[in-house]
Structure 1
Amino acid sequence: MARNKFDVDENLESPFNIRHFRRALVYIRKQKKPMIIAFVLSALSAGIALSAPLIMQHVVDVTIPAKESIPLIGWSALMLATIVVSVILATIRSRIMTRVGQDIIFDIRTDLFKHLQELPFQYYDDRPQGKILIRVVNYVNSVSDVLSNGIINFILEIMNLLFIAAFMFAVNAKLSLVILAGLPVFIGIMLLIKTKQRRAWQSVSNKSSNLNAYLQESISGIRVTQIFTREERNEGIFTRLSVNYRKAWMKTMYLNFLVPFSVDNLTTMVTTSIYFVGLLALGPAEVTFGVILAMSSYAARFWQPILNLSNLYNSFINAVAYLERIFETLDEPVTVSDVPKARELPPIQGRVTFDDVTFAYDPGLNILENLVFDVKAGESIALVGPTGAGKTTVVNLISRFYNITGGKILIDGHDISEVKLKSLRSQMGIMLQDSFIFSGTILDNIRYGKLDATEEEIIAAAKTVCADDFIREFEKGYMTEVNERGSKLSQGQRQLISFARTLLADPRILILDEATSSIDAQTERLLQKGLNELLKGRTSFIIAHRLSTVKNCDRIMYVADKGIAESGSHDELMAQRGRYYKLYSAQKMEA
């Protein structure tokens, strides 16, 4: 569970290999047509720009010595035209690739979100939300440019090098060899730092993920922070994480800046060598001043693509670190899913059977062992017992939010591991203690699980759970906008809205997990009347710590010692004078 901490670096499950990049090509192939157009435009732009040194050489060696003013104007106009056309083509290409980059972002992010929707609860139990969010947002943004512009630019820079080399050797082969002499030095530098660069970017990825995780956690818990005046302590933690990120970033930048520093110095040395070799070694008889000017221009142009390629390499190393994280998430197994021959669960009556069920969140640490019970359709079951005994685990297994370790869970005789999840969960209604309210209107929140519900059905559900009165007190009633997590509502109001949402789905099996814990006693009494009518004909599982709310259930199960320690009606369990009796008596005395 070490990954479930904001200050622990995530280790990749497997190292990056070329297979990851091949997977990335899937998103690139979807944009093949616009990328080909952009490539052609870039090639034309680069080819036109490369003619400028040749024009300059001709003007210096021929036109100016001949004092031809009209041709000079013509050559100047032609050079200006090459610049204008090159810029126009580059601009069109840039617009195309901006759209391509955004389309790639859209595709990757959509696949990530779709996969995250399917991952089991266990995945979210083991990770801070911030470390998940950063992969969907920041990391996808970071790789998009490399996967779009990066591929085209890499090919173009290689072509540029070949074109420039061809132009250079066409002008003067000996001076071309002088320009190429710096390449072995540059390659040696890149080989020395490439492994360090990848590790450095991995460190940046880790520190960024940690910082994002703590930031998300701090924002979610801001009320608790202010209640306990933890601002100063939290600021210290955030500062430490920020300093760690800054150190990792600066170390990476030092390595990255070695590349342009090396290229700049090599370019200066090569250009100096051209003048030395051209003027002193070869002499003016073999090399004209126009040739030297042209070769100096080509030297700068030759090393510019090399600098661009090195920058692309840096970007690729950076993107590799993020691609590893992205594909690690996409490779996370969907352990709770439909089996190959899963069948539709037909409309159910609601009989639930646990047949020798064993379950563990972590291997070897069983929460439930050899659990056996049978619930008839329409029966109401209360699950009580100490905190951590496994009450919520039992109801989570009925909805198959986790896979059981052993045994079977049957609904109307159908093994739930062999039916389609959607057909199973669509016939259940689950009301949790932590009532999550989505941003939007109250109407939309109630309709969340049944999009085709009419306004009349929504209002009827709200009236059943006693939510209609307080909703109508708002100026806009059911069209009142609420924030994420329902910050404008009281905890009791959030629970009532969640109740209405659950009941609107008209489930055959109803699960209430501490569903009335935040509702005042008067509202709870009113709500109970509606619930009594609603629970008729439905199988219900009710988890409650206030035992007075479950006295009338058909059966009460006391969950303890990895199973059902006691089972029976309220009167039967009180007569046994066992664990339930002691718990109920203690609560009655406290009241």
Structure 2
Amino acid sequence: MSKGMGPGKMRGGMPGEKAKDFKGTLKKLIKYMSIYKIQMLFVLIFAVCGTIFNIVGPKILGKATTEIFNGLVSKVSGGSGMDFGKIGQILLMTLGLYVISALCTFIQGIIMTGVSQKTTYRLRKEISEKINRMPMNYFDTKPVGEVLSRVTNDIDTLGQSLNQSATQLITSVTTMIGVLVMMLSISPLMTVVALLILPISAGLLSFVMKHSQRYFRDQQAYLGNVNGQVEEIYSGHNIIKAFNKEEDVIRTFNDTNGKLYNSAWKSQFFSGMMMPIMQFIGNLGYVAVAILGGYLTIKKTIEVGDIQSFIQYVRNFTQPIQQIAQVSNMLQMTTAASERVFEFLEEKEEEQTVPNPVSVEGLKGNVEFEHVHFGYNPEKIIINDFSAKIKEGQKIAIVGPTGAGKTTMIKLLMRFYDVNSGAIKVDGHDIRDFNRNELREMFGMVLQDTWLFHGTIRDNIRYGKLGATEEEIIQAAKAAHVHRFVQTLPGGYDMELNEEASNVSQGQKQLLTIARAILADPKILILDEATSSVDTRTEVLIQKAMDNLMKGRTSFVIAHRLSTIRDADLILVMKEGDIVEQGTHEELIAKKGFYAELYNSQFEKTTEVA
């Protein structure tokens, strides 16, 4: 079954989004990760333990410095000098603490990496499943690159920043608390002096968070826009070159790329300016502690080693403030990315199942349109009070000029959209009483816009019926008049089609999609006559294949060449979204209305050319 129809893709160039709910999104993310609470508990325990063992180190190391100082003073005054044994014990104890700290940090890093990767895996899986439950209207109005950006860039950003920010936040907070306790145990006065840098740090942190959040959101939004344009440009590269539109495309891309550059530059500027400023403030703290520590040592309030320990603690105290500044920037990226992901996951879905659904088993393919009204916009109805009864096995042609709404009828049949009022029934059952998936099993589609995926020819045909045997695949290929062609290919049915299936011709692609539909053996067929871009011989083959496909099945044919549907049991004539005439070919010609005008115009054009 070929891929669904829809209007042309929109250009990915929407304006930058405003800052949204930072706290709300963070709560959603925490709630989403709550299934990993046991792992996160172990991350917390090992992060805290690793930090505590690391914090205690400078205090013990300060004892070694005091021993060395006292030993030197003792030596000068004629004493026994330094106690190398005691100094060695202190150094070994310090080394042991640092080894244990590193081991704890290593373990929590492994656990946190696992949690972040499981989270991104789960999000990708949910987005992949969500896409299949989304209404066609969403994809008709959104650029492809915008959706792809949420699956790739946003989730990658979320996974990377989550892994770093979560553990860094835990260790930074633990370090600040632990270091504060150790500093107070050495000298409350020196601690107060060191803490004077906090208001300045907090003010800077608040300023950066206030101004950088919207730039991070804009960066993610414009990255999606750029991806959308690149995807659009790449897929239509031949057309762009054919119409000499390279400069226009580059101009449009440069505009969006410039917006991405500006938002990325500003967000990274705010992110990068914090470190040098925080380091400068930290250095001021070192100077104050060194002067006050020397004074207190002279007064014999503290020991010499305590000054060394305290300076290390001051550095360890300002470092987590710097890390928190970095974490705040990472959290901006995390929430900006996760907000876009959650927005997609919370989009309104198609109703997949209904209570007490009608079974498709035993249905024959009778279709009835009962006073159908429909409009893409409820305020602008384009199909007004259409009724028709189609018996199983009949061939229904839908004709009309481009933009008349032929594709709309197909979308309604497949329940890509639901009617505003009235009903479409299959064997007397309203199609809204079926589960969507089961309803669509009744339909086979062969569209002008063929869709084949990267894989073997066998797999592409088998897509219509995954459990098909080799014999069934070959029989379907023979009925579609494609078997002989496949045998001439290198590898036959095992030949791999590339991503665009460009290693076979347009007509051959069409025959393969017909073979796929024959294999699926649907009750109702939807055919978009696709012979306009092939040679005369291939057109005959496609027409024969379509005739084989339509035998004994209810068929809806979107007709481009009216001469090919003269034998249709019912012709629906559409104009400006409405069905203006219906009947057989002879009846409509006799009316001398719009259909007769369309039909005769083809021959007039032929005569003019002749």
- Aligned partner (choices 156, 164, 180) of residue 195 of structure 2: 180
CA offset digits 1:278-319 (Å, max 9, x no partner): 234774422333221111100000111121122111111111
Moved more, 493-502 or 43-52: 43-52
In structure 2, give the amino acid aligned to 1:441. Answer: T
Deviation at 1:424? Answer: 0.5
Query: How far, CA to CA, are the matches of 2:84 and 2:580 in structure 1?
Result: 106
Partner of 1:263: 278
- Is the contact between residue 377 and residue 538 of structure 1 (CA under 8 Å) also seen in structure 2? yes
The equivalences for 1:292-441 within 5 A come to: 292-441=307-456
Deviation at residue 17 of structure 1 after TM alignment: 5.2
Superimposed CA distance per residue, residues 318-351 of structure 1 (whole angstroms, 9 cap, x where no aligned partner): 1111111111111110145334554434431111
DSSP-derived class of the 1:556 partner: strand
Aligned twin of 2:151? 136
| CA distance, structure 2, for counterparts of residue 403 and residue 511 of structure 1 | 17
Mean alpha-carbon deviation: is it higher for 408-417 or for 514-523?
Answer: 514-523
Cα 1:6–1:533, aligned 2, differ >3 Å: closer, same or farther? closer
Q: Cα–Cα, structure 1 residues 258 and 245, in superposed 2: closer, same or farther, change >3 Å?
A: same
Q: 1:4 aligns with which of 10, 13, 17?
A: 10
Q: Is the 8 A contact 1:260 1:307 kept in 2?
A: yes
Cα distance change on mapping 1:142 and 1:272 into 2, 3 Å: same
C-alpha displacement at 1:211, in angstroms? 1.0
1:8 maps to amino acid: M
1:336–1:394 CA distance, 2 compared to 1 (3 A): farther
Q: Which residue of 1 aligns with 2:101?
A: 86
**Which of 31, 52, 58 is the equivalent residue of 1:47?**
52
Q: Which residue of 1 aligns with 2:497?
A: 482
TM-score, normalisation: structure 1: 0.94
Match for 1:509 among 524, 545, 554? 524
Give 2:441's aligned amino acid: S
Query: Sequence identity, in percent?
Result: 31
- The answer for the alignment partner of 2:553 in structure 1 is 538
Instruction: Indicate the residue corresponding to 2:232 in structure 1.
Output: 217
Unaligned residue ranges in structure 1 (runs of 5+)? none
1:97 aligns with 2:112: yes
Q: For residue 340 of structure 2, give the secondary structure of its aligned residue in structure 1.
A: helix
Q: Distance in 2 between matches of 1:247 and 1:15?
A: 20
- Inter-CA distance 183–342: structure 2 relative to 1 (3 Å threshold): farther
Which residue identity does 2:313 align to in structure 1?
Answer: Y
Quickly say closer, same or farther: Cα 1:5–1:477, change in 2 above 3 A: same
**Partner residue in 2 for 1:61:** 66
Which segment drifts farther, 406-415 or 282-291? Answer: 282-291
The one-letter amino acid of 2:14's match is: V
Sort the Cα spacing of 1:363 and 1:259 in 2 relative to 1 into closer, same or farther, 3 A: farther
Contact kept? 2:482, 2:511, Cα under 8 Å: yes
Kindly tell me: are residues 448 and 61 of structure 1, through their superposed partners in 2, closer, same or farther at Cα, counting changes over 3 Å?
same
Aligned-partner Cα distance in 2 for 1:392–1:580? 18
Q: Which residue of 460, 484, 489 maps to 1:469?
A: 484
Q: Is the 8 A contact 1:465 1:530 kept in 2?
A: yes
Distance verdict in 2 for CA 1:240–1:17, change over 3 Å: closer
Select between 165-174 and 149-158 the one with higher mean Cα deviation: 149-158
**Letter of the aligned partner of 1:541 in structure 2?**
F
C-alpha RMSD over aligned residues: 2.3
Cα offsets for 1:334-375 (capped at 9, x unmatched): 145334554434431111111111212234232212221111
Contact persistence 1:142–1:322 (CA under 8 A)? yes
Question: What is the alpha-carbon distance in structure 2 between the residues aligned to residue 195 and residue 361 of structure 1?
Answer: 41
Distance 1:485 1:10, change over 3 A: farther
The alignment partner of 1:269 has SS state of helix
CA-CA distance at 1:89 after TM superposition: 3.2
| Amino acid corresponding to residue 66 of structure 2 in structure 1 | D
SS of the residue corresponding to residue 575 of structure 1 reads helix
1:239-296 Cα offsets, whole Å, 9 max, x none, are 3332321221111122222332332122111111112222347744223332211111
Q: Are positions 1:118 and 2:133 aligned together?
A: yes
Contact 2:290 2:307 survives alignment (8 Å): yes
Q: Give the total of aligned pairs.
A: 590
Aligned to 1:24: 29
- C-alpha change, 1:244 and 1:17, in structure 2 (3 Å) is closer
Q: CA deviation at 1:149?
A: 4.5
Conserved in 2, the CA contact under 8 Å of 1:382 and 1:544? yes
After the TM superposition, which of the residue ranges 385-394 and 334-343 deviates more from structure 2? 334-343
The alpha-carbon distance between structure 1 residues 362 and 464, as it changes in their structure 2 partners (threshold 3 A), is same
Structure 2 residue matching 1:224: 3-state secondary structure: helix
State which drifts further: 1-10 or 474-483. 1-10
1:151 partner letter: A
2:368–2:387 contact (8 Å) kept in structure 1? yes
Please identify, of 238-247 and 162-171, the stretch whose mean Cα deviation from structure 2 is larger. Answer: 238-247
2:74 maps to none
1-structure distance, mates of 2:17, 2:389: 44
C-alpha deviations, 1:497-556, integer Å up to 9, x for none?
A: 111112211010000023444343323323433433432321100012111221121122
Shift of 1:150: 2.9
CA distance in 1 between counterparts of 2:394 and 2:581 reads 17
| Paired residue secondary structure (2:381) | strand
User: Is the CA contact 1:392–1:513 (under 8 Å) kept in the aligned structure 2?
Assistant: no
Contact 1:118 1:334 in 2 (8 A): yes
Question: Contact between 2:9 and 2:140, CA under 8 Å: does it hold in 1?
Answer: no
Aligned residue for 1:389, secondary structure, equals coil
Structure 2 vs 1, CA of residues 323 and 585 (structure 1 numbering), >3 Å: closer, same or farther? same
Partners of 2:159 and 2:335 in 1: CA distance? 12
Q: State TM-score, norm by structure 2.
A: 0.91
Is the Cα contact below 8 Å between 2:285 and 2:314 reproduced in 1?
yes
Q: What does residue range 127-276 of structure 1 map to in structure 2 within 5 Å? A: 127-276=142-291
Cα distance in 2 between the residues matched to 1:577 and 1:263: 85
Q: CA separation of 1:192/1:150 partners in 2, compared to 1, >3 Å: closer, same or farther?
A: closer
Task: Name the CA distance, whole Å, in 2 between partners of 1:134 and 1:384.
Answer: 38
Name the structure 1 match of 2:20.
15
Equivalence for 2:77: none
